[in-house]
Amino acid sequence: MDKLIITAAICGAEVKKNQNENIPYSVEEIAHEAESAYNAGASIIHLHVRKEDGTPTQDLNVFKTCIDAIKEKCGDVIIQPSTGGAVGMSDDERLNPIKLLPEMASLDCGTLNFGGSDIFVNTEDTIIYFADKMKQLNIKPEIEVFDKGMIDTAFRICREGHIKAPLQFNFVMGIRGGISATLRDLAFMKDSIPHDSTYTVTGVGRHQFTMAAMAMSSGGNVRVGFEDNIYIEKGVLAKSNGEMVEKVVRMAKEIGRDIASPNEAREILQLGRSNK
């Protein structure tokens, strides 16, 4: 098996300090959380940013300031801005951070009920619009899938030339409205992607570490972080993203899976190769 790539989704758009006071909002807090995850073994930072009061934003300047601050503290870490942003944002607002030419960015491949009464809208036109922009800028999309049909959409747009293999998937499992976080569904998702693809598993909420265990033992990669879960164990709030990454590193050590450095992750994911 390849070395394990750990992504830290350090902030997200939805979770707030009243749920866990350690959720980062300011540039300093975001950079500090990225550093804690990087020092613990994360090679990718999946990045959302906030206004000072915690409101999610896709403002270009806020992204730039945060990315600069993270680079200063974390040197070679891979920064993967979100183009999902928050529910209700316009397509062009969501796309803002790709103007900073990151190596990767998220590409959400379908619409779903999102955690209750919200709808996270990604029409096929939106997906193709985002994919074409990323292709022009040679940014590798991480294909965010919340259900199996989104894998099929990714195939279709790949066949049509909007994204290029090898594809990198992130299976987000356990969100209300999306696929459940079970071994059966992970096997289904994993068996549904092309053999030359790579995949990461994001278990939402209480599923975070059980899905991490399944992902790392089946050859997949792992995402953890405050975006997806605020607890380090049942009833105990996590102190930092670093604490969650450390737990994944301990689990990987126990089963003999080495951790990828950022440069090793670049090799495995084939970042920086032509997207055309």
Kindly state whether residue 130 participates in binding ligand KMH, applying the rule CB under 6 A: no
Tokens of 33: 């959380």
Instruction: Using CB under 6 A, pick the residue from 144, 147, 185, 246 that binds ligand KMH.
Output: 144
**Residue with tokens 């806020």, as numbered in its chain:** 62
Kindly state whether residue 7 participates in binding Zn ion, applying the rule CB under 5 A: no
Tokens of 170: 């992130």
Nearer to ligand KMH, 98 or 216 (CB): 98
Kindly state whether residue 108 participates in binding ligand KMH, applying the rule CB under 6 A: yes
Kindly state whether residue 200 participates in binding ligand KMH, applying the rule CB under 6 A: no
Nearer to Zn ion, 41 or 97 (CB): 97
Let me know: does 98 contact 134? Beta carbons within 8 Å. yes
Instruction: Using CB under 6 A, pick the residue from 60, 87, 121, 251 that binds ligand KMH.
Output: 87
Q: From the CB of 85, what's the least distance to ligand KMH, in Å? A: 6
Q: From the CB of 160, what's the least distance to Zn ion, in Å? A: 25
Nearer to ligand KMH, 144 or 147 (CB): 144
Collapsed DSSP state (helix, strand, coil) of residue 173: strand
Residue nearest to ligand KMH (CB): 84
Let me know: does 172 contact 144? Beta carbons within 8 Å. yes
Collapsed DSSP state (helix, strand, coil) of residue 34: helix
Report the C-alpha gap between 146 and 202 in whole angstroms. 10
End-to-end CA separation in angstroms for the chain: 28
Let me know: does 275 contact 135? Beta carbons within 8 Å. yes
Kindly state whether residue 57 participates in binding ligand KMH, applying the rule CB under 6 A: no
Instruction: Using CB under 6 A, pick the residue from 27, 40, 42, 86 that binds ligand KMH.
Output: 86
Torsion angle, alpha carbons of 226, 189, 220, 9, to 10: -20
Kindly state whether residue 222 participates in binding ligand KMH, applying the rule CB under 6 A: no
Residues that bind ligand KMH in the complex, under the rule CB under 6 A: 13-14, 82-84, 86-87, 106, 108, 114, 120, 144
